A and B are shown apart, each in its own frame.
Chain A
Amino acid sequence: MTSERDVVVLGVGLHPFGRFPDRSLDDLARHAALAALDDAGITFREIEAGFVGRVGGTGPPVGVGTRIFSELGQHGIPITNIELACGSSSRALMHAADMIRAGSAETAMVIGVEKMERGMLQVGGAGATSYASVMGLNVMPAAYAMRAQRHMEEYGTKPEHFAQVSVKAHRNAMHNPYAQYRVAITLEEVLGSRMVCDPLTLYQCCPTSDGASAVILASAARGRRHTASPVRLAAWAGGSPVYENGHEGLGEGPTGAVARRAYARASIGPEDIDVTQVHDAFTPGEILTIEELGYVKPGDGGPFVFGGGTEITGKYPVNTDGGLLSRGHPMGATGGAMVTEVVRQLRGQAGARQVEGARAGLVQNAGIGGVNVLVLSA
């Protein structure tokens, strides 16, 4: 049953992910925004609120969102910048959806965009002089590697389980024209690539990328003017780390609890999800997250992935577009790209990577200090 204030996805668009030294942040954002408007079949004047998800680090730090939107048109809409590290644009989508559900806008556009430096990302920025930077602790892959080591100790998960995530991601990305790496790699090549942080080898780390995503949301009432069967944004929930059992929350936050909140709001369970995008900045992201989402029991994630459970033809297809590992990870753009892939899957527009009969999809997008789960339905 739908209500007038339900939220639907009217349009999605991407700028290809990769390295585009000749294109500015604004160029990338504009490309994605126009693609989403064309996909929705509306003009920019029909957009009533604008959000930009971007992390920054290079380029202009202030007012990026207003500048990007002002190039698309100027009809006085409220524009908001949202930063939640790698989870910026999915969090922006949640706030846009809140506006629509509350009735303060009928439509909203969320642009996610990033241009990144090559090389290992420095938490806290280059030149940081904190204890963690000087003592070599600010190493992004190390955070995932340490979660992986703990998982290996508790459950016997093996390095090849993690490596298989990357094999599958690369195979899926071959069918995604927007992906940064469209080349298959073997398990031996993944395991044999240079060790970065044990047990993670180079090919288990996502690249840095340039790219942009745009998603147009609308109320169900407004959406009906344009399409008879839009994809619904059925539920969304976010969270931050939790202090419990005497320990400060580590990392991204309580994915499991956030997912359960989203399932409840959408009146579904994990068994109903046909296609999923998870935050695989590094390969443990997929194995640990499918456990937290309730797809498999804690500890079963490694063998499940290794046995093909997250393949496009598996029980729970995950990262059908190549994920962060192969599609690429321009931080601010990633959440919107995840939603874009799920929307294409639910519309049956995913071509060679189509999950047959997909009716419900889930996005899990995490940044330092926050996690978002969004549920979409056909």
Chain B
Amino acid sequence: MAVAETGRRVPLNPDMIEMPASAGGLPRLVGSCCPACGARFAARRAICLQCAHRGIERCTLSPTGTVWTFTVVRQQPPGSILQAPYAIAQVQLDDGPIVAAPLVDTAIDAVRVGLPVEMTLCDAGRDADGNTLVAHAFRARREEEQ
């Protein structure tokens, strides 16, 4: 899924990804980490689920992980920009948290539990100002395909 070359790229959900500051930089997944106990979360949180610390901090998460479980959606859900059939997964990131996301650029038949994956971006439509919305997804890690 190629990202449009022109126009500004804006994250669909800025709470979940951080766009690179420089042209060649990589986008990062964003989560929360606890300065008191070190627990890491995929979602943005105010309070630590592990130690109840208040004042949890925004942090970037590992861009790689493995498929914890998955399915192939074969009936088109209303409102989705992905066209069925497409694969979705719960990905366990290398630094712990599990995130749900689509799997793109990967043959549906090749998806399995334990598949090593890496974060990528895909188009998620356009916003009211004509900017390209981008959202995170995962794809099979390239070394896995070789």
Contact = CB atoms under 8 A, between A and B. Distances in A.
Interface string B64-79: 0000111111110111
B71 A142 contact: yes
B42 to A, nearest CB: 8
Interface string A251-268: 000000000000000000
Interface residues of B, number: 40
B75 A196 contact: yes
Interface string B120-135: 0000110000000001
A359 to B, nearest CB: 39
A150 B69 contact: yes
Interface residues of A, number: 35
A67 interface: no
Nearest to B82: A136
B96 A246 contact: yes
A135 B124 contact: yes
A137 B99 CA distance: 11
A147 B13 CA distance: 26
A135 B74 contact: no
B124 A134 contact: yes
Interface stretch (A101-109, A120-128, A340-348): A120-128
Nearest to A126: B78
A134 B69 contact: no
Given A150-B113, A153-B69, A246-B39, A133 B74 contact: no
A137 B102 contact: yes
B59 interface: no
A150 B68 contact: yes
Contacts, number: 108
A250 B137 CA distance: 20
Nearest to B112: A153
Interface in A147-196: 147-150, 153, 194-196
B98 interface: yes
Contacts of A136: 73, 77, 80-82, 84, 86, 88, 102
Contacts of A133: 79-80
B88 A134 contact: no
A130 B74 CA distance: 21
B69 A147 contact: yes
5 contacts: A122-B79, A139-B73, A139-B75, A142-B73, A148-B71
Interface of A: 120, 122, 126-139, 142, 145-150, 153, 194-198, 200, 243, 246-248, 250
Given A134-B124, A137-B88, A138-B77, 20 more contacts: A122-B78, A126-B78, A126-B79, A127-B79, A131-B13, A135-B124, A135-B137, A136-B73, A137-B100, A146-B69, A146-B88, A147-B69, A153-B69, A194-B74, A196-B74, A196-B75, A197-B74, A200-B71, A243-B50, A247-B97
